[in-house]
Amino acid sequence: MARAGVIDEYLTSLDRRLRGPEQVKDDLLAEARDSLDDAAAAHAAGGLDAEEAQRRAVAEFGPVTLIARDYQGLLALAHGVRTLWTVILVLPLAHVLWELNRSFWIGSWSAFDHAGPPPAWYLAIARANDSAGWVVAGAALCALPVGRLLARRGTSAVTLARLAGAVAGVAIGVNLVATLAITVATAHVDLGRLLTSPPVAAATAVSLAVMARLAVLARRCLVFAAG
Amino acid sequence: MKSDALRGHLDGLLLATLDGGQLHGYAIIEALQLRSGGALDLPTGTVYPALRRLETAGLVASEWSTVGGRRRRTYRLTKAGHRALAAERTAWREFTTAIEGVLGGGPWPAQA
């Protein structure tokens, strides 16, 4: 079994050191195996026995700790790009679904205006909350071509992954603050608006849960980038 | 040749190996070794992350395809990659011309 063992052991050791999207990891490891098999075949054709050919191929590939560091950077970057796309798609979608849910169960906000229109500061917070999801999704969308530009200038995958995590984290944080601000402001102006419709209250709870999940994804960008 | 000295030029070297058409990873490594006369002793495992980073940068594109009866990930230059390679070559020629003028050992220009 020594014939398959040396390359297998190396790849198992590499696999154990890597964390990140499984599909990307499997793809990287499959390509590494191809390369090691090719190199071992070339050395075997040059006269080495099978096990020595594999040892030579593994030695040429590089120390597993060094290679794992480079591969881990790629995995962190892949996770970062996915997280940014998730922010871009999910935050606006969550806002639209919340508004549709609200309009179905409550109707127009003017239904609450029997006690007089809300104060100007409340309307300002409401407008900020309405646009927050779109603004942060736009910022995340802009981060993608900026990241590509930085990659062309030689910025490392680890640094790019950290930047993606930072952008996603700030985007989620801004959206979370906007959601909490409008919730607290609504409770202050008219607590009934929050309690009148359990489905709308449930939708708000779901939105907060989605943001918490996104925050976990953003944090993982930094965790994966740390190796 | 030391790998540290190569790292700064690795992107340009990888782009240059793909100038003639698409190649899979091990063929790129072979091309690097062949064209350098075996002087490039970079750990071959570092080539793949570098290729993926170039892909992130939009300078190369890759896909799994069947080569010689085996499935392999092959890489090719994008239009942006061709432009980047041309820029790398221009910068390299300017650099080597300047260094050659000083280190090359030719006669110094007469002092004014």
- The tens place of each residue's pLDDT in chain A, 227 residues long, gives 344 599 999 999 999 999 999 999 999 999 999 999 999 999 999 999 999 999 999 999 999 999 999 999 999 999 999 999 999 999 999 999 988 888 888 777 666 666 677 888 988 999 999 999 999 999 999 999 999 999 988 899 999 999 999 999 999 999 999 999 998 998 888 777 777 788 888 888 899 999 999 999 999 999 999 97
Q: Do A34 and B72 touch (CB under 8 A)?
A: yes
Minimum-distance CB partner of A70 among B11, B49, B59 = B49
Per DSSP, the three-state class of B85 is: helix
Helix axes A120-152, A157-189, angle to 10 degrees: 170
- Please tell me the distance from the alpha carbon of residue A61 to that of residue A42, in angstroms, as a whole number: 14
Residue showing tokens 């290729």: B51
Tell me the backbone φ, ψ of residue B107, rounded to 5 degrees. Answer: -65, 140
Residue A1 has what pLDDT? Answer: 39
| Closest alpha carbon within chain B to A39 | B26
Q: Per-residue DSSP letters for chain A? A: -HHHHHHHHHHHHHHHH--S-HHHHHHHHHHHHHHHHHHHHHHHHTT--HHHHHHHHHHHH--HHHHHHHHHHHHHHHHHHHHHHHHHHHHHHHHHHHHHHHHHHT--GGGGGGG-PPPHHHHHHHHHHHHHHHHHHHHHHHHHHHHHHHHHTT--HHHHHHHHHHHHHHHHHHHHHHHHHHHHHHHHH-HHHHHS-HHHHHHHHHHHHHHHHHHHHHHHHHHHHT-
Mutate to test the interface with A, among B56, B73, B75, B77 (most CBs of A within 10 A): B56
Q: Assess B43–A contact: CB distance below 8 Å, yes or no.
A: yes
Which two tokens mark B102?
Answer: 């000083």
Which residues of chain B make contact with A77, given a CB cutoff of 8 A? 56
> CB neighbours (10 Å) of residue B30?
17
Distance (Å) from the alpha carbon of A2 to chain B's nearest alpha carbon? 22
- Please tell me the distance from the alpha carbon of residue A100 to that of residue A107, in angstroms, as a whole number: 9
- Please tell me the distance from the alpha carbon of residue A187 to that of residue A48, in angstroms, as a whole number: 77
Q: Assess B57–A contact: CB distance below 8 Å, yes or no.
A: yes
- Please tell me the distance from the alpha carbon of residue B94 to that of residue B36, in angstroms, as a whole number: 20
What mean pLDDT do residues B93-102 have? Answer: 89
In tens, the pLDDT along B35-78 reads 888 877 789 999 999 999 999 999 999 999 887 778 889 999 99
Q: Assess A67–B contact: CB distance below 8 Å, yes or no.
A: yes
Q: Do A60 and B44 touch (CB under 8 A)?
A: yes
Residue B6 has what pLDDT? Answer: 64
For Cα atoms A95, A99, A100, give the angle at the middle one, nearest 5 degrees.
Answer: 115
- Please tell me the distance from the alpha carbon of residue A40 to that of residue A38, in angstroms, as a whole number: 6
Helix axes B10-17, B47-56, angle to 10 degrees: 80
Residue A2 has what pLDDT? Answer: 41
Among the listed residues A140, A188, A159, the one whose alpha carbon sits nearest the alpha carbon of residue A73: A159
Which residues of chain A make contact with B50, given a CB cutoff of 8 A? 70
Residue B2 has what pLDDT? Answer: 57
A to B CB pairs, distance under 8 Å: 74
> CB neighbours (10 Å) of residue A133?
24
Q: Do B45 and A31 touch (CB under 8 A)?
A: no
Q: Assess A68–B contact: CB distance below 8 Å, yes or no.
A: no
Residue showing tokens 């179905």: A104
Which two tokens mark B69?
Answer: 């009866």
**Sign for the pseudo-dihedral over CA of B68, A26, A60, B48:** positive
Mutate to test the interface with A, among B9, B10, B26 (most CBs of A within 10 A): B26
